[in-house]
Structure 1
Amino acid sequence: MSKHICTRWAFDLGSWRPTLPQLTQAVASVQPEERVRLMKFHFIDDFLSSLIGRLLMRKYVSTCSGLPAHQVKFARDVRGKPYWMREDYEGPPLSFNVSHQGSLVLLAGITGEESDPDFGIGTDVMKIEYSGGKSLSEFFRLMKGKFSAQEWSYIGRPQQDEREQIKAFMRHWCLKEAYVKELGVGITVDLEKISFSVDTTSCLDSKVSPLIGTSLRCHGEAMENWHFEEHLLQEEDYCAAIAFRNCLPMVHGRFQFLRVEDILLPSPESQLEEVISYCEKALLKPYKRS
């Protein structure tokens, strides 16, 4: 299996309270139909998470293709998954995916060659916490059908404290999400039949992140064409997973945190009255966090 260049970007929303000029510059860079989607969010946190995801996608495609950012256009497939409208572009194929939870927004992308077989990438991020109200044992009981017996034997290890059990649960959930996101089917498959054996060569911590020894079995069959990375981010408050289908990264690297200056793109539309008015309305949305 050939190896390719993998990009891993992260953005910390906790570090950014947008000014009106910054927000107009950001909003002007996304397509009008996406602005309609964004405005439907009640909280500005969700608005900004989705907005940053779109900007990361645009920056990634522009960087890899060499096309000016304003020429990069996206559409959504029948499942709502964004894809790049390549049109007449003859360069290497790309696969990319974004994910966000809490204050983090991630993008993972990989380049291919024209001769490559079908390949793809999926990513997911989860905050390592449980705030469901029920006891952890009751929560695990309700989620029983989402994991295989082998996965539960690892998640519920009695010698581990609750924090470690929650971490193990989130690791597995992250892996499943990354896998089904690359497939483009969402969590509609029988998750109990998707069984991960997480890398136990070392404890997943910030010193060894990422771990790369995780393997997958579907309906008991080893999925040799899939490879995975597991990451810890933000002082080990978040876990993240990347799923590689029919491809391998040249280097198993860490996520690079970008600043807002790295992803804001100049656009003449940022001075349009309708864009300024749109952003003024968006800035009135409440924050979830303090």
Structure 2
Amino acid sequence: MASDSVQVIQYLVDTRPLWPKATKTKDLENEAARALALLTDEEKTKVLRYYFVADAKMSLTSHLLKHWVVARYANVPWWDTKLTRDDKTKPVYVDPTTGKQPVAFNVSHQAGLVALVAVAGYSTTKENGETGKGEEVNIGTDIVCTSERRTRDHRVIDTEGWGKFVDMHADVFGRGEARYLKGDLLSTQPGLPSLARGDEITDFKLRCFYTLWCLREAYVKMTGDALLAPWLRDLEFRRFRAPVGGLEFGQVREEEEGREGEVVMDQEVWFRGERVVDARIVMRSLGEDYMTCTAVRTPVRKEDALGWKVGPFEFLEMETVLGDAEARLG
């Protein structure tokens, strides 16, 4: 059976107000020196290689969160949170003494927000009473912002048409998904006002488009494969719908869940013509423009992950991350 101490972890960091005096990436060497000091030399180089400072801040935060979740939830000293890559090149932490992964994690970032999802404390118990390896849990996440590329998207759609816009991205969708986006979308998706016209219709189509993108990205990241996986077009989401935007952007208490946006979990996953029920997939909106998806599965006992509560996300302050890290430097 599954461990009773399982924790499903979901955090968001808003990097937009961080290190405000850094107007160029190179400025982070001084303005974010405290944070950069917590990374390896290789990670620092990757962060400072970004041309735009906004991208560098998201990269810096992503690196910190991966180490932070291992340090905190696996109780590992900061400099012992050495990350490696599994056979699918996905970043992982493997306990050198047990060979297990005490924390499975994934990160995503878009338009200034960085999302971290993780599962800690999961194990399976075999018939002989032995505890199985913690890596028998897979997790993936994605975050999208429907307004970040709105001007560009509208320009392409106005010039080339909606069908051409979808075709430009058809290689990352399932065979039936592109047809659906170009055909039955408006007649089957709820939420479009009856009197909607022009840009309002285009925005609705784009919200559905990015919902499907987010679902697929989170699921594929959960499996550990890239968007160029040979089976990618055999994967198809059906009966999905775009979550309604929220009333506010910010931290919402669990009992108030819904004010930040709608949560949707009734989409269907199909693979090569057969329905697959192997993962807990939670799609949610965050305020008006952002949407996140988390996908988690436990391959040995799929019912474990299917029963977990996933969310809501909690906003995490950078000062908390840095303080925790520095306390674990040893």
Asked if these proteins are the same fold (TM beyond 0.5), I'd say yes
Could you tell me how far 1:29 is from its partner in structure 2?
0.9
Is the Cα contact below 8 Å between 2:243 and 2:285 reproduced in 1? no
Which residue number corresponds to residue 13 of structure 1?
15
Normalised by the size of structure 2, how large is the TM-score? Answer: 0.71
| Structure with more relative contact order (C-alpha pairs < 8 Å, separation 6 or more) | 1
Q: Aligned match of 1:241 in 293, 313, 322? A: 293
Which residue number corresponds to residue 23 of structure 1?
32
**Structure 1 CA distance for aligned equivalents of residues 318 and 307 of structure 2:** 26
**Structure 2 CA distance for aligned equivalents of residues 191 and 5 of structure 1:** 30
**Structure 2 CA distance for aligned equivalents of residues 177 and 167 of structure 1:** 15
One-letter amino acid matched to 1:197: R
- The count of residues paired between Structure 1 and Structure 2 equals 267
One-letter amino acid matched to 1:182: M
Which residue number corresponds to residue 220 of structure 1?
273
List per-residue Cα deviations over 1:60-87 (Å, max 9, x = no partner): 1122112232321112346543211421
Q: Secondary structure at the residue paired with 1:174?
A: helix
**Structure 2 CA distance for aligned equivalents of residues 70 and 179 of structure 1:** 31
Normalised by the size of structure 1, how large is the TM-score? Answer: 0.80
**Structure 1 CA distance for aligned equivalents of residues 31 and 316 of structure 2:** 15
**Structure 2 CA distance for aligned equivalents of residues 123 and 249 of structure 1:** 18
Q: Which runs of 5+ in 2 are unaligned?
A: 22-27, 126-131, 193-200, 247-257, 299-304
Alignment of 1:125-164 (within 5 A): 125-129=143-147, 130=150, 131-132=152-153, 133-135=155-157, 137=162, 138-145=164-171, 146-149=173-176, 152-153=179-180, 157-158=185-186, 160=192, 161-164=201-204
List per-residue Cα deviations over 1:240-265 (Å, max 9, x = no partner): 11111222463232111111111114
Q: Identity of counterpart residues, as a percentage? A: 24
**Structure 1 CA distance for aligned equivalents of residues 316 and 243 of structure 2:** 27
Alignment of 1:1-290 (within 5 A): 2=2, 4-17=6-19, 23-77=32-86, 80-88=89-97, 93-111=102-120, 112-113=122-123, 115=125, 118-129=136-147, 130=150, 131-132=152-153, 133-135=155-157, 137=162, 138-145=164-171, 146-149=173-176, 152-153=179-180, 157-158=185-186, 160=192, 161-189=201-229, 190-200=231-241, 203-206=243-246, 207=258, 209-233=262-286, 235-246=287-298, 247-248=305-306, 250-265=308-323, 267=326
**Structure 1 CA distance for aligned equivalents of residues 145 and 86 of structure 2:** 28
Further displaced range: 31-40 or 259-268: 259-268
CA 1:57–1:199 in structure 2 vs 1: closer, same or farther (change >3 Å)?
same
Further displaced range: 48-57 or 181-190: 181-190
**Structure 2 CA distance for aligned equivalents of residues 95 and 181 of structure 1:** 12
**Structure 2 CA distance for aligned equivalents of residues 110 and 255 of structure 1:** 13
Is the Cα contact below 8 Å between 1:6 and 1:249 reproduced in 2? no
Could you tell me how far 1:100 is from its partner in structure 2?
0.5
Could you tell me how far 1:35 is from its partner in structure 2?
1.2
Q: Secondary structure at the residue paired with 1:96?
A: strand
One-letter amino acid matched to 2:170: K
Is the Cα contact below 8 Å between 2:285 and 2:291 reproduced in 1? yes
CA 1:149–1:91 in structure 2 vs 1: closer, same or farther (change >3 Å)?
closer
Is the Cα contact below 8 Å between 1:210 and 1:253 reproduced in 2? no
Q: Which runs of 5+ in 1 are unaligned?
A: 271-290
